[in-house]
Amino acid sequence: MVSRRKDFRPVRGAESDRTKPNRDGQEPAELAGAAPETAREVVDWLAHLGAERRMSPETVEAYERDVRQFLGFLAAHFGRRITLAMLRDLATRDVRAFMAHRRGDGIGGRSLMRALAGARSFARFLERQGKGKGKGKGKGKGKGKGKVGALSAIRAPKIQKTLPKPLAVAPAKRLTDTGLRAGEDREPWVLARDAAVLALLYGSGLRISEALGLKAKDVSAPGAGDSITVIGKGRKPRMVPVLAPVLRLIAEYVALCPYGLAPDQPLFVGAKGGPLSPRIIQLVMERLRGALNLPETATPHALRHSFATHLLGRGGDLRAIQELLGHASLSTTQIYTAIDTERLLEVYRNTHPRA
């Protein structure tokens, strides 16, 4: 299943219910802007993203939503459902009109860039299938000579680069102190669980989805030792080290947990024994922000940034940090060099006699 939406389950090479016409001959509401041939290609494209590109269900769903909005706008723009031929003959002014429309809805540059990325991905899929090429005639067409080139001819919107905001070392360490939550009406095993999750986020640089995706056997299996294998973005596994204090916190949680943690079941469970929701950990961080007087930028994901920044500040190798974080590109990891440079400049300004 590519998407978790109950009303949309595309299967590669087959026509999903969502693209079949209703009894009155009309397309389902969510693809009303697409002609049947275009709707079928959308289904095959989404199946391709999930099965062959190995994108996560969340990413596939976001791409689907963006292309649905794009086709819906074009249908209103042209006054009829969008065929493959119409997509081939798009002009750059049509794409700019879509961008202006989305800007009018109040979306930011980052969201608009992602919307364009989804539309471009669909266009490239059509071209690879031999359905994105046409005669390429007419004025005002985008580059590409008959391909869905208007999308590639448009320059992506500029977005303001914001650096991650890591926590200082001292408060990052104190987040696992259950004494900070002594006034809360929480059972000891719940406090131990939350401390173990936060320790993994900071101590191993995990994403919250990676920490909550761990199975009980990932930590307790023979030979697991001081490292675990996590499943990151794109379902890519990677091995990360786990510090002894973090392992102790996990062991304390497991010992206190009232539920039997089967090897193939989630390591971290909720109050009723089911999988732990990320929202619970987000709420925990909100409470701890107040206790430690931290800014709103102190989120669970900020602990991952803190992990990378603190490693780099102590001389960690950038390539090694890339592997620990599971970044596909080194350029993604390089943002932390800017953070460390800012920290050095701040120290310089505050301490140098001539600053």
Cα gap 176→198, rounded to integer Å? 7
Tokens encoding 166:
């890591």
| 33 alpha-carbon distance from chain centroid | 28
Active site residue 18: no
Q: Which of 18, 102, 304, 305 is the catalytic position?
A: 304
Q: Which of 165, 186, 301, 343 is the catalytic position?
A: 301
Q: Which of 233, 238, 287, 289 is the catalytic position?
A: 233
Length of the chain: 355
Cα gap 38→18, rounded to integer Å? 12
Active site residue 53: no
Q: Which of 207, 253, 305, 310 is the catalytic position?
A: 207
Decide: helix, strand or coil at residue 238.
Answer: strand
Classify residue 74 by its DSSP letter. Answer: H
Decide: helix, strand or coil at residue 158.
Answer: coil
Cα gap 256→253, rounded to integer Å? 5
| Amino acid type, 117 | A
Classify residue 237 by its DSSP letter. Answer: E
Q: Under the phi-then-psi rule, with left for phi > 0, alpha for psi from -120 to 50, and beta for the rest, what region is 326?
A: left
| Amino acid type, 258 | P
Neighbours of 64 (CB within 10 A): 24
Cα gap 79→74, rounded to integer Å? 8
State residue 16 phi and psi, 5-degree precision: -75, 165
Q: Where are the alpha helices (DSSP H) in the chain?
A: 36-51, 57-78, 84-88, 92-104, 109-128, 149-153, 169-174, 188-204, 208-212, 216-220, 244-256, 278-292, 300-313, 318-325, 330-333, 335-351
| Amino acid type, 135 | K
Q: Which of 63, 202, 253, 336 is the catalytic position?
A: 336
Cα gap 138→150, rounded to integer Å? 12
Active site residue 301: yes
Active site residue 310: no
Query: Catalytic site residues?
Result: 207, 233, 301, 304, 327, 336
